[in-house]
Structure 1
Amino acid sequence: GRRMAYIDEGTGDPILFQHGNPTSSYLWRNIMPHCAGLGRLIACDLIGMGDSDKLDPSGPERYAYAEHRDYLDALWEALDLGDRVVLVVHDWGSVLGFDWARRHRERVQGIAYMEAVAMPMEWADFPEQDRDLFQAFRSQAGEELVLQDNVFVEQVLPGLILRPLSEAEMAAYREPFLAAGEARRPTLSWPRQIPIAGTPADVVAIVRDYAGWLSESPIPKLFINAEPGSLTTGRMRDFCRTWPNQTEITVAGAHFIQEDSPDE
């Protein structure tokens, strides 16, 4: 077995905060205090990320979506969440959360989502300023960019936050990925799993399934729209706005909106 780290505070119905790439439960540090008293607040670190264990042996086949899902499913099961769960999801946390919700719909009370993957994409949907870099991540150049140069943490993360991060904040985000090489593999596998132009097929199918379900489900939803935003813009945002029983609010931010608008 592997050790996975999580925050678990308070009592009542669970509110699950799920991060994506390249972050950790640290992403929610300024959000969770606002929810104190509302329930049992839980934020998990995905396998290989935050304070959770790395997979060993590691390599290009590790940290695919299905493997992350297996680990997170097992952790959420072990946390005994009951059947009145609220999900708060971002980035890959949205794929994991939407997918879990579709498979456990009778246990979900509500879903709040931001900068999420709401449907399979084409490259034309992908933010133009990041397109070349993400295409490089999905090529053989990715190993050097990420495993050696740590580009996802050093460039993508701060580049998608409107304010400058402090040295202490950057240090916290760097911490799981200080060692060059396989320690950084999760931050490379994730961009290779984004459902773009039909690839990878298994993730495209999963996203298509939950997109169809969410566009019809009466489960209460909160869409936290980002201005200017990054991922959930254009065609994807238009699609999200068709989902039933949904409230929408807009906050300032690019992709990692928790760093720009925590109090909103």
Structure 2
Amino acid sequence: MEIQKKYIEIAGKKMAVIDEGSGEPIVFLHGNPTSSYLWRNIAPNFKETNRIIVPDLIGMGDSEKLDGIDNPNYNLMGHYNFLDQLLDKLEIGNNIHFVIHDWGCALGLIYARLNSEKIKSITFMEGIAIPLTWEKWPEVARKIFSLFRTDAGNELVLEKNFFVERLLLTDPITPMSEEDKKEYLRPYLEEGESRRPTLTWPRNIPLDGNEPEETLDVVKANSEFHASSSIPKLFINADPGLLLVGEQREEIRTWKNLEEVTVKGNHFIQEDSSEEITKYLKSFISNL
């Protein structure tokens, strides 16, 4: 991404963010275990017409790690509090467009629910948008994500870097370049707590009540609000997809004021379909 990050102090920690261009702001939010790098082939295409804001969530990418062991601020609302303060310091104003993926989807939907008068549109893909259930997930995913919630998850993620090396780097249909792999691995080269965000996130997924109650309540509130909200929404469906598939996909399709397009990809669809995502997003925003 041929643009520079700047650093803003939030609650005593430095958060990295790309903030370039002018015009109506577009906020691009990543999830687990990625960073602003996820949007490298999409966000720059908008900086001639819009202000692009692309943060690294706290403890991820080039944002500073949190202190201590199993820091509770790596959960959903902890991340949201850092993000909310960051956006406040950036003074992003009104007519905000959110482009959101994975846990970035949940974060963006919280902000849009609590600040709906400031929101012009929401584009989301393969994200935590509605509560999920184990039986609606593929069997392989159920086994892996069940393990993350046990002591074995500590070894898999904190020691073996499983989430990055086995779930992210092998996801794209078109194999990643060595350069891209290196960049995604870079924030998590050190074993242990540096990798904590990538373990706390899957332990927060709202699956059948086996998660922090606060997380489930927030995701339910997001879903109920946005299902009936008049905010224009673009759902970028993934084919074959991984997260928003089956009944989850059908539920999303009932949301009010929703357009839908489809691109190829499993979960990290930006790696396979950046050109298509850019094209659909430009068309959607320009027609509002």
TM value normalised by structure 1: 0.97
Counterpart selection for 1:252 from 258, 261, 264:
264
Instruction: Tell me the alpha carbon deviations over residues 213-244 of structure 1, each in whole angstroms, 9 at most, x when there is no partner.
Output: 11101100000000000000011110110111
Query: Which residue in 1 is equivalent to 2:58?
Result: 47
Q: Is the 8 A contact 2:172 2:268 kept in 1?
A: yes
Point out which structure has higher relative CO (alpha carbons under 8 A, 6+ apart).
1
Q: Are the counterparts in 1 of residues 73 and 79 from structure 2 also a CA contact under 8 Å?
A: no
Residue 37 (structure 2) aligned to one of 26, 34, 44: 26
| Structure 2 Cα separation of the partners of residues 139 and 61 of structure 1 | 17
1:143 aligns with 2:154: yes
- The answer to whether the 8 Å contact 1:62/1:189 transfers is no
What's the CA shift string for 1:183-212, capped at 9, x where partnerless? 000000000000001122111111111101
Q: Partners in 1 of 2:132 and 2:214 — Cα distance?
A: 14
Percent identity, please: 49
CA contact (8 A) 2:22 2:47 kept: no
Contact 1:18-1:94 within 8 A present in 2 as well: yes
What's the counterpart of residue 241 of structure 1? Answer: 253
- Describe the SS at the equivalent of 2:22: coil
1:7 Cα deviation (Å)? 0.5
Cα distance between partner residues in 2 of 1:158 and 1:178 = 14
1:64-123 residue CA offsets vs partner (Å, 9 max, x unmatched): 112111111110111101011000000000000001110000000000000011211110
Deviation of 1:166 after TM superposition, in Å, equals 1.0
Kindly report which structure 2 residues correspond to 1:220-231, keeping only aligned pairs within 5 A, or say none. Answer: 220-231=232-243
Deviation at residue 131 of structure 1 after TM alignment:
1.5
Any conservation in 2 of the 1:10–1:40 contact (CA below 8 Å)? yes
In 1, distance between residues paired with 2:251 and 2:49? 30
Pairing partner for 2:197 from 175, 186, 192 = 186
How far 1:60 moved relative to its partner? 5.7
The alpha-carbon deviation at position 33 of structure 1 amounts to: 2.7
Task: Choose from 108, 111, 122 the match for 2:119.
Answer: 108
SS at match of 1:90: strand
Q: How does 1:119-134 map to 2 (within 5 A)?
A: 119-134=130-145
Q: 1:37 aligns with which of 48, 55, 69?
A: 48
Superposed counterparts of 1:33-112, under 5 Å: 33-59=44-70, 61-112=72-123
Q: Secondary structure at the match of 2:14?
A: coil
Who is 1:215 aligned against? 227
- Contact 2:239/2:262, CA 8 A, preserved across alignment: yes
Q: Secondary structure in 2 aligned to 1:20? A: coil
Alignment counterpart, residue 184 of structure 2, candidates 167, 173, 187: 173
Letter in 1 for 2:220: R
How far 1:11 moved relative to its partner?
0.3
Indicate conservation of the 8 Å contact 1:34/1:263, yes or no: no
Q: What per-residue deviation string (whole Å, max 9, x for no partner) do you get for residues 17-71 of structure 1?
A: 0000000000000011332323101100000000000001232644111211111
Q: Secondary structure at the match of 2:140?
A: helix
**Residues of 1 paired with 2:126 and 2:140: CA distance?**
16
Cα distance in structure 1, aligned partners of 2:133 and 2:57: 26
Unaligned runs of 5+ in 2: 1-11, 277-288
Match of 1:159, SS state, is coil
| CA–CA separation in structure 2 for the residues paired with 1:160 and 1:169 | 13
Aligned partners of 1:195 and 1:204 also within 8 Å: yes
Displacement over 6 Å in runs of 4+: none
47-56 vs 62-71, which deviates more? 62-71
Cα RMSD between the aligned structures? 1.0
